[in-house]
Amino acid sequence: MAHTDLAPMERLADDRETSAAVTPAGDPADAGARLERTGRRWLMWSFILCPCHLPWTLAILAAVFGGSTIGVFVNQYRTAVGVAIAVIYLIGVAIGFNYLRQAKAKGACTVRF
């Protein structure tokens, strides 16, 4: 059926029916791939906060926020900020690996660990 003779709301309903027929909802392979992508993203962003980069991270934070309240806090409480960054890193890595384990359980994960 051509879209030119349909009202806008009917056209929207027609498009939804077509897309639903092409990609079934709840496909386990798609869910596993989505879990794997999410896990990889968590790991990638967590490694930016890796404690081995801590001197660079603190220097960048101090430079970006220099002269502001946040910059003063980062400069005055370097140890506390470093510990907070390390804890955030560990939590992010744990979440990332948890997503990868879920994807592996669904049989979609290509990462071996």
Kindly report, residue by residue over 18-68, the tens digit of the pLDDT.
444 444 455 655 788 888 899 999 999 998 888 888 888 888 888 898 889
At 94, the pLDDT band (50, 70, 90 cuts) reads very high
Query: For the chain, what percent of residues have pLDDT higher than 70?
Result: 69
pLDDT at 17 over 60: no
CA distances from 29 to 21, 80, 87, 99 (A): 17, 43, 33, 14
Q: What are the domain boundaries of the chain? A: 30-113
Query: For the chain, what percent of residues have pLDDT higher than 90?
Result: 25
Q: Which pLDDT does position 92 carry in this prediction?
A: 94
Nearest to 107 by CA among 39, 30, 40: 30
